[in-house]
Structure 1
Amino acid sequence: MRTKGARARRTWARRGAAAVLATAAVLASPAAYAGPGRAPAEVKPAFTSVNYAVAVDESASLSDADMAAEKAAAKRIALGDVSASSRVTVFGFAAAEAEGQSAVDPVCPRTTLDAAGRRTIGDCVGKLRKRTEKEGTGTDFPSAIRQGVHELTTGTDPSVPRVLFLLTDGVMDVSGSAKYGDESHRKEEGERQLTAALESAAANDVQIWPLGFGSAPDKAQLDRIAAGGYQKGCVDLPSARPTADVVTSGAKDLGPKLEKVFAAAHCLRYQPGPEGRRPPATLEIAISPLATVGSIVVDKGDAEVDITYVDPSGKPVPTTGKARGSAFELAGAEDTVEALRITDPLPGVWKVKAEAPEGHRSLPVGVSVLWQGELRGAITMDPPSPQAGQKATVTMRLQTRDNYAVKDPRDYAGLKVTSSLTGDGFAPVPLTLTDDGKGPDPDAGDASFTGTVRIPGSAAGALEVTGTLTASGLSADTRSEPGRVAPAELPVTAALTLGDADVHPGARITGDLAVNNTDGRPHTLRLSMADVRAGHLVVSPAEIVVEPGDSGTRKVTVEVAPADVFGNRLGDDGLRLGGTVTVVDTGTEGGDLTLVQEPLSVRVTPEPGLWEKYWWGFLTAAALLAAAVVAAVLLLGQRRRRRDPAGLVLRLVSETGEVVAEHRAGHGHKQWYEFAVVEPHRNPRIERRSNGPYAVQRSPEGGAVLRKRGGGRTRLTEHGQVELTDNLSLALAGPGPHAQGGPRPTTASAAPDGGTQGGGSYDAYL
């Protein structure tokens, strides 16, 4: 009886098989519609298609959650292929352990991953199931491999790569299968048939990529299966050679792991996204400038989650049709996994916005990108026309298909560079070009591969240096640069000084070209810009005439194209342009002779706005304005304090000059202390009254100003008086002692009802 652990491992295996299937369907979509209401155009697939089969190990130990994870992962693979003509077959397998049982369960017949195939792949994957104990739950690898070879070779083009994904717990178990003979010899017979099945796969050019699950998969057996099939991958690189892998971290890592395996088998580049987040959420994923076609694969977890895709320019993109130079096609929108296939995607950081109604926000949303692209190179030799026996430096700079410089080393990870020097009078000389910052290579990871070569002493006449770039997921590119062995003495020499620059569109970069003509006749030098998109960088003058005996410098200018030439490629981070300024002497015997090949790197950033241009002016103006506001506030405060009536001592003076009452003013309303004179004939005194007939405030010149209702304003000096009534005048007194000879005045104080009564100072009102 099989152990619970073995069943669990087989559960993971079957789950993985479904995952492989789903990713393949996304990337295999056809060209997008030309626009709303138009029929899809017939377009040649951008990249070589692949025929692949997915064998899913089925087991009764699979839980419902495991099977759901397998199906979701399978959809991710099926929706991730970049070729519209790739074809996929899916089947489950276990073991036939009784009469009437079969080791293989056909699930999805051969399906072309065009638009229709991608729409149906979800239903097809849904047929995957877990077996019951009565259906046979062993692990019959030989039968699974034979079935895969049959599916991949029957009625297929042998020139199309054949790939079998084998998802299993990594432990072959045919102990219950009578077709393997007597029970005591079944293990040995199983091993023999496994060897024969692997030999058949290798003979029929079928790669096998095993993926194991569970806590203890038999990695050694998986390695044996990977090594037993066909070994030549889509490119001649170790990354494309079949290898076995295992998933030990659970169902949540099943899809990403399968996408990585699928990418290696199909020569795709795989870019994982950030950790999944529950909606509503915005996830960011970068698409390389090398990508020419790719798919953003979204594992929604819940079919009710709605996804919006926003390109690096900040604009949402359609799910079908064309926009801003890219073509789009969405598959799986009604399922738990969907993918947006993009042809000519805008490079940069894309945003995937996930929204979901209440009750459908419990599962995290994950995102990844599978893509293929083009990588180009620009090769130079310094000096460009070396002499025999001289050492030359060869540099191959990486570029995108639009001739932009490559900035991220991850874009060309796993790159293989081969180079050689050929020419008249010697056998080809191999070169080693590296980007490790050692020896002749100045900087590591700058997308420039450099090496040196000594020109053979027997060299005479033509030279040519050649470099080839090879990388998984990137189309190979070969570049060559012709040259000529220079004579011992050159009649004209030239040296260009033109440094790298960080500029805005429309800018001009200037440098100096030092020339020296020792010949007896004039020479015409032709200047040109190579290895850059036409019109992006233009060098002038186009020609320079160097007269006999002339030795001096000439100004050279490189003009950068205006912003509209770069279109939406000119984002906030700018573009890196890599060109080569070439100077050729057209007047030498035997033909043109290249004198200068000067690499030039130009970073072009958008023209700054008013703030970026004049931020210092804005800050200076803001500082001055702030200082002016502070000064005004201080002045107003000072003025307010200078006019504040608080502390003024007001005196009522009789006709005879006697001080009959005294009152200390408090803070007023808008610097005016309002009051009234009560009982002027019996017991005259001053009381504070809102809207009273009189008001005083300090005068900045000293003393106070008296305001009478309807009577204007009168200056009240420290020693003067102003008439208030027929028999009373108002005077000021300091806080010192009362005037000699006069009676002690009465003062006003607060009454319990809010009025006033004699005997208190105004401080009681405060």
Structure 2
Amino acid sequence: MTVLHLSLAPHRGRAATAATRPRSRPRRPRRGFGRAAAVVTAALLTTGLPAAPAGADTPPPTPTSASPSGAPAGAPGTPSATIGPVDYAVAVDESGSLKPEDLERERAAAVRIALGEVHHASTVGIFGFASADQPGQHPVDEVCPPTALDAAGRDRIGVCVAGLHSRTPAEGQGTDFPSAVLQGISRLTSGTDPAVPRVLFVLTDGKLDVKDSPAYGDPGHRAAAGEEALTAALAAAKAAGIQVWPLGFGAEPDQAALDRMAAGGFQEGCVGLPGAKPRASVVKDSGQVGAALEAAFAAAHCLRSEGVQTGRPPADLPVRISPLATVGSIVVDKGDPAVTATYFDPSGRPITGAGSDPDSTFEFSGRDKAIESLRITDPMPGQWRVHLDAPEGHRSQLASVSVLWRGALNSSISLTPPSPRAGEKATVTVKLQTRKGLAITDQQDLKDLAVTSVLEGEGFPAVRVDLADDGAAPDAKAGDATFTGAVTVPAGATGRITASSTLTASGLAADQNRPFSSVVSPAVPLVTAAFSLDGDHRVHPGDTLKGTLNLRNDDTAPHILHPAVTDVAPGLLTLSPDSITLAPKESRSVGITLTAGDAKAFGRLLGHDGVTVGGKVSVVDTSDRDRVVADSPLSVTVTPPPSFLDEWWWALLLLGILVVVAVLALLVVLRARKTGTSPAGLELVLLDGRGRELGKLTADGGSGGWYGFEVSGVGGPHPRLVRRPGGTYRVQRSQDGGAVLEVRRRTRHRLGAGTPVELADGLSLTLGASRRPGPGTPPPASGSRPGRTERTTPLNDLL
């Protein structure tokens, strides 16, 4: 049977919640210190999440049944990373070999642990240690009993950690590592669940010093006795399933001693990756503390780290959250409580307070302290931004921002051919996807992934299959989250076969166990099928894609085939028809329709550029022991629905062209109308009472379509027409070829050749030989000459 699971380190830790642990008041600090140096715990904080143990001494999960196609016929649901609590203890060196500023940084580590932890039921106990050199002294000083790290618990840690202090000679200033380790074992194993991971952090300079401690015998043998006791204590930690992660502080930390402690504790706490084994880190200055602890905490708890960004306020620090993440913490070491941090998700929306939206849940801690955190469940993937600001006088401290997260992914396994013959070479393919069933495209998300496979079946022993994503045959492309390997089906295979795979990855939990199961084919298969998808495999939500199934039945009996989309999250893609009957000896092609879910099914997954949905189209012969006759990889790109502009741009362009044409036509008409009524070229003739011509005036274009004039010298011997805009009279050409005369903008008269209009004092006006001047015709000049007598029309014969 095929099993895809995440191999996590067997943490034989204990899980005590707040309800199962006695709580005591935090001790009043005996020494005051400045700000809790904000750096040490960035990485420690973010998540005690390992899943149930799966180490060397823990058998792999028992495979579960699956559909013959290698996955449930329906799509897998959104998997959740098996995130649980973690119990850890922090031992802080208070000996005289450390300077006060080194202890200050150690204290900051404890604060960051509390603020960065992502599981509210995780616990932490914090104690200082030095040595007991005189009666009444004690090597261990517990300042924070095991405390559940809910919001209130994290705040309590921030208060009680102030009890850590530098020991005086009167209190014992040696360094008793054996007592510190044993104290951690006691707190991590008392009445706790062995399935919960256990981690002990030792913050020290690594210098064992029990020369003044009577508990270790004669002064001449105390050093050797101390080494012996430390070896025994580390062995006890290993037996109890406790990882030991030393962090070195001070001017000259003992690297060899720190390495020894890391190697002496439990080594199988996470997956079997070299980077996940406990190791010692030396912190030379406060600027290195955050990065060192982040790496340590990520490895100790199977988390992923996105690195540390630093800057001085005001500043914008970017942090990336992977689409694989299901829970994580953004930890901000501000260096100064006066610094404020504002968080923006990848869409630019500010996260202003605790609570939830339709997709994510948020929880803030320590907002008024030097170190704060934002814990996010189901975070929006992408580039987050933390804006730091501070008033004048509070901008000198270097701030840092880090992210630790835990995630989950889907997987899809297939065998090609899906029903191979005994002795035939086949290809096993495992495709990894995000928890939403989408393609993994960022190489950063693929780092440290390892996939192996096993082929099992009737008639032969299990065969290991090596898989790779390196682009070398049979793998088609490197770095595409598809792991491929070749295997020859043993000659003894007689019936069912199952291909299984195992994913090993730090910080990632696999989805449900989903093996690929089929049946060995006879020498000549009776039923064959091949699937192909038309077009460019791009679709909008709610739209469809067409495909074809080419089917052949060489049997003498009918066969019922069941095609389905598998390894796709629910609602994203569906296939029809879901049942096809092939008659004996029938060969035909069947049209297949793939339908993408609506926009609501994809939600914010679509983004701006769309998403690629992976999976398979599997065809199972239900008439032949659910033999898989086709198992084709499927990759469909779903893009956001087109906007109105995207969909109708051509119509808008056509409409724009029509509008332009209509406007041009209107302008032509208006111009033609204006030209038709323009007074330019009208010849106005002034007549006396006997109809004799007294003078002429040829109109130009005038103003506003009218030509204004006046009769000068009325009542005198030589009246004449004079151009005068705004005069008593004005004329305009009419559409019938004549003209309209308007008197003082009140009365209008028809004016034509041979039909004079009376003006005043026996004078009248008529039209002469009018013309329409062409372009470039100069304005006509006025003149007067005697003319013939015309009949006049009374002025009150109005038009």
TM-score range normalised by the length of the shorter chain? 0.7 to 0.9
**Match for 1:434 among 468, 473, 494?**
468
**Match for 2:230 among 180, 184, 197?**
197
Quote the residue 1:528 is aligned against.
564
Quote the residue 2:596 is aligned against.
560
**Match for 2:728 among 674, 684, 693?**
693
What CA distance in whole angstroms lies between the structure 1 residues aligned with 2:677 and 2:177? 105
Deviation of the 1:138 alpha carbon: 9.2
Quote the residue 2:197 is aligned against.
161
Cα deviation, 1:318-350, whole Å, max 9, x if unaligned, reads 85555426544332233344333334x154347
- Count of residues in Structure 1 that have an aligned counterpart in Structure 2: 697
**Match for 1:237 among 265, 273, 276?**
273
Contact 1:76 1:255 in 2 (8 A): no
Task: Quickly say closer, same or farther: Cα 1:636–1:335, change in 2 above 3 A.
Answer: farther
Residue 117 (structure 1) aligned with residue 150 (structure 2): no
AA matched with 1:294: G
Residue 341 (structure 1) aligned with residue 375 (structure 2): yes
Quote the residue 1:271 is aligned against.
306
Quote the residue 2:25 is aligned against.
none
Residue 464 (structure 1) aligned with residue 464 (structure 2): no
Deviation of the 1:631 alpha carbon: 6.4
Task: Quickly say closer, same or farther: Cα 1:267–1:739, change in 2 above 3 A.
Answer: same
What CA distance in whole angstroms lies between the structure 1 residues aligned with 2:576 and 2:173? 75
Contact 1:517 1:551 in 2 (8 A): yes
Quote the residue 1:3 is aligned against.
none
What CA distance in whole angstroms lies between the structure 2 residues aligned with 1:638 and 1:490? 83
Cα deviation, 1:346-398, whole Å, max 9, x if unaligned, reads 54347667697976995898654322222232211011111111110111111
Deviation of the 1:259 alpha carbon: 2.8
What CA distance in whole angstroms lies between the structure 1 residues aligned with 2:346 and 2:678? 62
Quote the residue 1:486 is aligned against.
521
Contact 1:286 1:347 in 2 (8 A): no
**Match for 2:584 among 548, 561, 564?**
548
SS at match of 1:267: coil
AA matched with 1:52: A
Contact 2:451 2:503 in 1 (8 A): yes
- Of 609-618 and 147-156, the range deviating more from structure 2: 147-156
Task: Quickly say closer, same or farther: Cα 1:18–1:347, change in 2 above 3 A.
Answer: closer
Quote the residue 1:448 is aligned against.
482
Contact 2:333 2:401 in 1 (8 A): yes
Residue 709 (structure 1) aligned with residue 757 (structure 2): no
**Match for 1:399 among 423, 433, 438?**
433
- Of 578-587 and 97-106, the range deviating more from structure 2: 97-106
Contact 1:387 1:485 in 2 (8 A): yes
- Of 385-394 and 92-101, the range deviating more from structure 2: 92-101
What CA distance in whole angstroms lies between the structure 1 residues aligned with 2:654 and 2:107? 63
SS at match of 1:516: strand
Task: Quickly say closer, same or farther: Cα 1:681–1:322, change in 2 above 3 A.
Answer: same
- Of 104-113 and 524-533, the range deviating more from structure 2: 104-113
Quote the residue 2:405 is aligned against.
371
Q: How does 1:111-510 map to 2 (within 5 A)?
A: 111-127=147-163, 140=175, 142=177, 146=181, 149=184, 153=188, 155=190, 157=192, 159-167=195-203, 172=207, 179=212, 197=230, 200-205=233-238, 206-211=242-247, 223=259, 226-245=262-281, 251=286, 254-272=289-307, 286-299=320-333, 303=337, 319-320=353-354, 323-324=357-358, 326-343=360-377, 345=378, 347-349=380-382, 367-476=401-510, 478-498=513-533, 501-510=537-546
Deviation of the 1:120 alpha carbon: 1.7
Cα deviation, 1:530-556, whole Å, max 9, x if unaligned, reads 223445433333322222222222222
Q: How does 1:742-757 map to 2 (within 5 A)?
A: none
What CA distance in whole angstroms lies between the structure 1 residues aligned with 2:628 and 2:459? 20
Q: Which runs of 5+ in 2 are unaligned?
A: 1-33, 50-80, 771-776, 787-799
What CA distance in whole angstroms lies between the structure 2 residues aligned with 1:187 and 1:446? 63
What CA distance in whole angstroms lies between the structure 1 residues aligned with 2:764 and 2:744? 17
Cα deviation, 1:49-94, whole Å, max 9, x if unaligned, reads 131315367888667xx99887666544322222233222335678
Task: Quickly say closer, same or farther: Cα 1:152–1:267, change in 2 above 3 A.
Answer: farther
SS at match of 1:83: coil
Deviation of the 1:710 alpha carbon: 3.4
- Of 250-259 and 712-721, the range deviating more from structure 2: 712-721
Residue 593 (structure 1) aligned with residue 600 (structure 2): no
**Match for 2:650 among 608, 616, 633?**
616
What CA distance in whole angstroms lies between the structure 1 residues aligned with 2:246 and 2:677? 93
Deviation of the 1:440 alpha carbon: 1.2
Task: Quickly say closer, same or farther: Cα 1:494–1:695, change in 2 above 3 A.
Answer: same
- The higher-RCO structure (CA 8 Å, 6+ apart) is 2
SS at match of 1:204: helix
Deviation of the 1:211 alpha carbon: 4.3
Deviation of the 1:134 alpha carbon: 8.7
Deviation of the 1:410 alpha carbon: 2.8
AA matched with 1:234: C
Deviation of the 1:467 alpha carbon: 0.2
SS at match of 1:234: coil
Task: Quickly say closer, same or farther: Cα 1:562–1:680, change in 2 above 3 A.
Answer: same
Residue 47 (structure 1) aligned with residue 80 (structure 2): no
Deviation of the 1:307 alpha carbon: 6.4
Cα deviation, 1:428-474, whole Å, max 9, x if unaligned, reads 21111112222111122222111111112232222211101121122
Contact 2:127 2:140 in 1 (8 A): yes
Contact 1:649 1:735 in 2 (8 A): no
Q: How does 1:41-80 map to 2 (within 5 A)?
A: 46-53=83-90, 55=92, 74-80=110-116
What CA distance in whole angstroms lies between the structure 2 residues aligned with 1:400 and 1:187? 61
Quote the residue 2:637 is aligned against.
603
SS at match of 1:616: helix
Task: Quickly say closer, same or farther: Cα 1:163–1:688, change in 2 above 3 A.
Answer: farther
Contact 2:87 2:196 in 1 (8 A): yes
Q: Which runs of 5+ in 1 are unaligned?
A: 1-13, 30-43, 743-766
Task: Quickly say closer, same or farther: Cα 1:179–1:76, change in 2 above 3 A.
Answer: same
Cα deviation, 1:246-292, whole Å, max 9, x if unaligned, reads 567x65664355334322222122235877685797x7755444333
Task: Quickly say closer, same or farther: Cα 1:222–1:636, change in 2 above 3 A.
Answer: farther
Task: Quickly say closer, same or farther: Cα 1:433–1:141, change in 2 above 3 A.
Answer: farther
Q: Pairwise CA RMSD of aligned residues?
A: 5.3
AA matched with 1:467: S
